[in-house]
């Protein structure tokens, strides 16, 4: 097959799409509005579904050094009592990969490193797209056989071609995140309180990613997020407030959480296809948004390696919408359970988790992670792909 493709957005989804399409024999250009690819974000959890997809994209070797060895984890209540203890090694054994904490900046750098220089063009903000493959920016117009909208939750591509869609909405919560250096003994942990959760995920290089999510009205900003969090988590178990206290103020990121609560009726029109958050932004309570962007990219590349564009996009749409839109709904429900605020409901939720056997907890967590990627077929049969 093969042809020319323009990918809009050099986030996790856009870079994976570019890698996959190149593997399938396509000529690819990525347009990114940021002036440069820099160190962005904090940590991100990659589940086995995503790690298997990254292998299929041929970047497994680049990702492996970013993944710390799997350990054990706990969920505790606000007073520090263990609700459930689980073992990431069990997940590894069951699904062939662990839950991996990686730094988002390291992940993006590894993905960028898998593309030839000159593939990603920074400082180009796309302002419009047509279904027949024309892409507009301040610099002019460009054409391609395929356009991939990987431009995130506030997608210009979705706005242009799905104008009736209401767009993202606030999910009723907000999140704070940071990465700490020099934490050699970090573990996977979650502490759940009333309307708030605090979690940690170890990263390679003795770093620890922590996140705090809480119910909040849209648009509430905190002048000093660290001071706000120190007050908010006063009296929480050890390993909560002290991690925040050790974090330099300028490392604390704060974002309201938005999602595409109204599902899109299709992910493709004409020569244009959406993937990642542009197609199905979800709340982060399953830790699957970025993983699904990686899945999308792998499925798209696989289909384009075997079918002409119209058939590949129709199949992509039929395959990806049910899975991703179901996970958007499940993530919302997981958020409601994590951030439940009524004291009676908090006690009931905690009791339910406490009664779950550890194995049941791992099994429940791992359901979305059981997905496996389809193969991307090499464009030249005498040169099989190496993975």
Is 126 a binder of ligand FAD (CB under 6 A)? yes
**Count of residues interacting with ligand FAD (CB under 6 A):** 33
142 in contact with ligand FAD (CB under 6 A): no
Pick the stretch among 19-27, 191-199, 287-295, 326-334 that binds ligand FAD (CB under 6 A): 287-295
Of 10, 83, 91, 327, the residue at the interface with ligand FAD (CB under 6 A) is 10
Among 7, 14, 210, 214, binds ligand FAD (CB under 6 A): 14
- In whole angstroms, how close is the CB of 240 to ligand FAD at the nearest point? 17
CB 282 within 8 A of CB 331: yes
The pattern of x and - marking residues 233 through 262 that bind ligand FAD according to CB under 6 A reads ----------------------x-x-----
- C-alpha dist (Å) from residue 335 to 100, 167, 214, 225, 322: 21, 20, 9, 22, 20
CB atoms within 10 A of CB 40: 12
Compare residues 152 and 237 and give the one whose CB is closer to ligand FAD: 152
User: In the complex, what is the shortest distance from the CB of residue 147 to ligand FAD, in angstroms, rounded to a whole number?
Assistant: 12
Name residues whose C-beta falls within 8 Å of residue 346's C-beta, 6 or more positions apart in sequence.
192, 193, 194, 340
DSSP string of 8-45, one letter each residue: E--SHHHHHHHHHHHHTT-EEEEE-SSSS------EEE
Among residues 150, 268, 331, 376, which is the contact residue for ligand FAD, using CB under 6 A? 150
Check residue 202 for interaction with ligand FAD (CB under 6 A): no
Contact flags string 33-72 toward ligand FAD, x per CB under 6 A:
xx---------xx---------------------------
Q: Which is nearer to ligand FAD, 83 or 102 (CB)?
A: 102
Q: Does 30 bind ligand FAD (CB under 6 A)?
A: no
Q: How far is the CB of 213 from ligand FAD (least distance, A)?
A: 7
CB of 160 to ligand FAD, least distance (A): 10
- CA distances (Å), 179 to each of 11, 103, 173, 186, in order? 19, 8, 21, 11
Locate tokens 């991307």: which residue?
376
3-state secondary structure of 276: coil
Shortest distance in whole angstroms from residue 347 CB to ligand FAD: 27
Residue among 20, 98, 133, 152 that touches ligand FAD (CB under 6 A) = 152
Site membership for ligand FAD, residue 156 (CB under 6 A): yes
Both tokens of 59, joined, read 């970047």
Choose, by CB under 6 A, the member of 5, 6, 175, 203 that binds ligand FAD. Answer: 175
Among residues 9, 8, 23, 10, which one has the least CA distance to residue 60?
23
Binding residue for ligand FAD (CB under 6 A) from 32, 56, 77, 317? 32
Establish how many alpha carbons lie within 13 A of residue 8's alpha carbon, considering only the half-sphere containing its beta carbon: 33
Part in contact with ligand FAD (CB under 6 A); list of ranges 20-28, 31-39, 218-226, 328-336: 31-39
Q: How many CB atoms lie within 10 A of CB 318?
A: 12
- 9 touches ligand FAD by CB under 6 A: yes
Q: DSSP readout, 299-319?
A: HHHHHHTTS-HHHHHHHHHHH
Alpha-carbon torsion angle 208, 214, 218, 220, nearest 10: -70
Nearest to 300 by CA among 50, 4, 11, 18: 18
Structure tokens, 64: 């492996």
- Work out which of 5, 7, 12, 67 binds ligand FAD, going by CB under 6 A: 12
Closest listed residue to residue 17, CA positions, set 119, 90, 143 = 119
Interface residue list for ligand FAD (CB under 6 A): 8-14, 31-34, 44-45, 125-126, 150-152, 156, 175, 177, 255, 257, 276-278, 284, 287-291, 293
């Amino acid at each position: 097959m093969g042809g020319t493709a323009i990918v809009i957005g050099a986030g996790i989804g856009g870079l994976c799409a570019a890698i996959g399409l190149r593997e399938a024999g396509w000529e690819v250009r990525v347009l990114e509005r940021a002036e440069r690819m820099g160190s962005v974000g904090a940590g991100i959890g990659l589940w086995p579904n995503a790690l298997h997809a990254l292998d299929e994209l041929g970047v497994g070797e680049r990702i492996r050094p970013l993944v710390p060895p799997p350990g054990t984890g706990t969920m505790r209540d606000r007073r520090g009592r263990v609700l459930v203890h689980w073992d990431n090694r069990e997940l590894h054994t069951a699904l062939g990969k662990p839950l991996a904490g990686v730094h988002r900046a390291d992940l993006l750098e590894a993905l960028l490193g898998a593309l030839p220089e000159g593939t990603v063009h920074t400082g180009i903000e796309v302002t419009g797209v047509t279904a027949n493959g024309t892409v507009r920016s301040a610099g002019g117009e460009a054409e391609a056989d395929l356009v991939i909208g990987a431009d995130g939750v506030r997608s210009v591509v979705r706005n242009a071609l799905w104008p009736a869609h209401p767009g993202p909405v606030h999910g009723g919560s907000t999140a704070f995140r940071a990465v700490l250096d020099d934490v050699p003994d970090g573990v996977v942990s979650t502490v759940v309180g009333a309307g708030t959760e605090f979690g940690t995920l170890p990263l390679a290089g003795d770093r620890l990613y922590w996140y705090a999510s809480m119910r909040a009205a849209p648009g509430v900003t905190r002048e000093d997020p660290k001071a706000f969090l120190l007050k908010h988590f006063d009296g929480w178990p050890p390993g909560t407030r002290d991690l925040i206290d050790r974090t330099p103020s300028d490392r604390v990121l704060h974002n309201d959480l938005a999602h595409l609560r109204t599902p899109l009726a299709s992910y493709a029109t004409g020569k244009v296809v959406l993937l990642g958050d542009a197609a199905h932004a979800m709340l982060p309570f399953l830790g699957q948004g970025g993983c699904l962007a990686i899945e999308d990219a792998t499925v798209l590349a696989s289909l384009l390696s075997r079918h002409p564009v119209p058939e590949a996009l129709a199949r992509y749409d039929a395959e990806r919408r049910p899975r991703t839109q179901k996970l958007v709904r499940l993530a919302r429900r997981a958020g409601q359970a994590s951030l439940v605020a009524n004291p009676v409901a908090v006690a009931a939720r905690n009791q339910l988790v406490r009664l779950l056997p550890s194995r049941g907890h791992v099994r429940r967590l791992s359901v979305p992670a059981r997905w496996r990627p389809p193969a991307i077929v090499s464009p030249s049969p005498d040169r099989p792909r190496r993975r």
